[in-house]
Structure 1
Amino acid sequence: MKEGEAVTTVKKTVVLHPIMDTYVRKTWAILIEDGHDATYSMALNFMLLATIMLAKNEEGLSEETQETLQGFLSDQQTINHLNSQEYLSRLRGIWGLGD
């Protein structure tokens, strides 16, 4: 993207695991301490970009990271909980009840 170009964003409601929320908030605090005009969304995007860039590295993700990701995907109870929270949030939005 070139300087001065309009930035297109996509607004989504997502449900994060409490551990992820903790790390997003820690990243947010670090960015603010470093003098950035950071928001929660910026911190989350920063973390996602860092992960994408690490995955693109020649060595890829470490074995430990791959095992952690696979463990998360295998934790059906957590996945079901996160999905149900997202669905409830969507329903609240449809019904105009807010989050």
Structure 2
Amino acid sequence: MALNLEDVSRIAKLARLELSPAEAPVMLANLNEFFSIVEQMSAVDTSGVEPLYTPLSALQQVELRLRDDVVTEGNQREANQRSAPAVEDGLFLVPKVIE
């Protein structure tokens, strides 16, 4: 996937970056180099490779420390909202700050 200068200026505009005319070709080269590395990585066959949940599992056997997913606290919405100046339908009401 090769980008051109028009793509770079569009990406810069979307990212709200201001690129000078001298910076655009340098950015183009960097982005094209990055995408070539991504293409090389995508070409590698990883069908027989198990995903790692931690980098340490490549070096040693790592036991997952999982706990049961159970609710330990009840619904305390009303107690938490007692001190709120304004509440409606279980939601905090705040003043409008953006016009």
Shared fold, TM over 0.5: no
Q: Which structure features the higher share of helix residues?
A: 1
Bigger Rg over Cα: 2
Q: How does the TM-score come out when normalised to structure 1?
A: 0.30
Q: How does the TM-score come out when normalised to structure 2?
A: 0.30
